[in-house]
Structure 1
Amino acid sequence: MPSARGRNLTFTEEARRGQLIDVTIELVAEHGYGATSLGRIAESAGITKAGVLYHYPSKQALVEAAHEGVLSELVTAVGAAVDAAEPADGPAAYIRSMVGHLRERPRHVRMLIEAMTSVTPLTDSKARWSAVADLVSAARAARGVDGELDLRTAALVIGGGIDAIVAESLTDPSYDATAAAELLITVVDQGLLT
């Protein structure tokens, strides 16, 4: 992997960057973006602040790298689940995998929220809803469903439902997010895909 300096990173440098990202995710999830300083990250990683700055030029750059890593892991997992499903079942695979992945990684959820609300906007809303809209459109076509549907709104409803389920499971660990995801799938199937 090339560094910002244009050369390939050594194994040790790659490992240190991975450690810094892991520490950043933990600290931002636990304390929030504002309370996570480069000094705190350095102390938790067992290196100096200068050592952190050797790998990342700023706190924002490190948080962006952590956000990118968390998002990449999420996209890979959800993408694999959706790719394994038939087009007619794409929305259900998306909902199950999103809720399941995020429910199992509460620190990642907190990292995503902190990065999206505390740093320059890192995600494009249209990128998220348009991918879901495409799934809904493909599912409707595979099921032979005709008629007009505002795909953007349908995608936003699905995304909002997922966000609410994940948020509730973060605040109440006894909340059955799996059952909630299945209910959302039923609502989507009956309201958008028939």
Structure 2
Amino acid sequence: MPTENASKPLTLTEQARRAQLIGVAIDLVAAHGYAGTSLARIAEAAGISKAAVLYHFPSKDGVVQAAYTTVLESLIEFVGAAVEPHTGAAAVEAYIRSLVGYMRLHPTHTRMIIESLVAEADAPGGPGRHETMAGLLTAAAKVGDYRRGIDSQVTAVIVNGAIDAIVSTGLTDPAFDTAQAAEELIRMLNGTFS
């Protein structure tokens, strides 16, 4: 029986089934929330039995945690690739654009992240993103792109709060231009701290 800690590698069929179950869990949590996502609902959406789901994951929580991890890794990889070639204010701008862009392109992932953060206040990715933004802001101040006295911790909370507002508005109002809002946030940040 494959588990998270199995010693033998998964077959291609097992990998495909796990990926399918993770995708189903992402869609269900996005549509129904954690509480509305049951093992039976996951099995039904995947077209298999609950026992077959349990063959691949130890529980509903196991599937949902794997789904959350998949979403978070995808987000981090996307944003990291966008930020990595930049320094200073350009890195901050790449972070804002890529984070808002990712959320716009992947609304089910966004809803999965929001559901996880609501369900568990200390879920991974919550407070850590403030540290990431604070580091980018500090680096930008060191190279002279932002004023030296910037309070990176407070500004990180403010910027991430603005990103949250942009993303949540985009989820509830499809006509809202999240890319334009991200650009406006960048202009505000540059105008205030340059």
Fold match by TM threshold 0.5: yes
1:49-101 CA-to-partner distances (Å, cap 9, x unmatched) read 01111111111111111011001111001001101223331111000000011
Q: Please, which runs of 5 or more residues in structure 1 have no aligned partner? A: none
- Separation (CA, whole Å) in 1 of partners of 2:168 and 2:132: 21
CA contact (8 A) 1:37 1:59 kept: yes
Letter in 2 for 1:16: R
Counterparts of 1:55-66 in structure 2, within 5 Å, are 55-66=56-67
Counterparts of 1:81-100 in structure 2, within 5 Å, are 81-100=82-101
Find the counterpart in structure 1 of residue 116 from structure 2: 115
Quick one: structure 1 residues 141 and 165, their matched pair in 2 at CA, closer, same or farther if it must change by over 3 Å?
Answer: same
TM-score, structure 1 length as denominator? Answer: 0.93
Quick one: structure 1 residues 120 and 171, their matched pair in 2 at CA, closer, same or farther if it must change by over 3 Å?
Answer: closer
1:121-179 CA-to-partner distances (Å, cap 9, x unmatched) read 42154321111111011111222655322211111111111110000011100011111
2:25 aligned with 1:24: yes
Q: Please, which runs of 5 or more residues in structure 2 have no aligned partner? A: none
- Separation (CA, whole Å) in 1 of partners of 2:171 and 2:126: 22
> Number of paired residues?
193
Find the counterpart in structure 2 of residue 12 from structure 1: 13
Quick one: structure 1 residues 77 and 130, their matched pair in 2 at CA, closer, same or farther if it must change by over 3 Å?
Answer: same
Give the 3-state SS of the residue equivalent to 2:174 in structure 1: coil
Letter in 2 for 1:106: P
Following TM superposition, by how much is the alpha carbon of 1:104 offset from its aligned partner in structure 2, in angstroms?
1.1
- Separation (CA, whole Å) in 2 of partners of 1:143 and 1:120: 35
CA contact (8 A) 1:60 1:119 kept: no
- Separation (CA, whole Å) in 1 of partners of 2:120 and 2:60: 10
Counterparts of 1:134-173 in structure 2, within 5 Å, are 134-143=135-144, 145-173=146-174
- Separation (CA, whole Å) in 2 of partners of 1:145 and 1:40: 50
Following TM superposition, by how much is the alpha carbon of 1:32 offset from its aligned partner in structure 2, in angstroms?
1.3
Following TM superposition, by how much is the alpha carbon of 1:41 offset from its aligned partner in structure 2, in angstroms?
0.3
CA contact (8 A) 2:24 2:45 kept: yes
Percent of residue pairs bearing the same amino acid type: 45
- Separation (CA, whole Å) in 1 of partners of 2:28 and 2:70: 15
Find the counterpart in structure 2 of residue 36 from structure 1: 37
Quick one: structure 1 residues 46 and 67, their matched pair in 2 at CA, closer, same or farther if it must change by over 3 Å?
Answer: same
Letter in 1 for 2:27: E
Letter in 1 for 2:5: A
CA contact (8 A) 2:131 2:156 kept: yes
Following TM superposition, the consecutive aligned residue runs of length 4 or more in structure 1 with deviations greater than 4 angstroms are none
TM-score, structure 2 length as denominator? Answer: 0.93
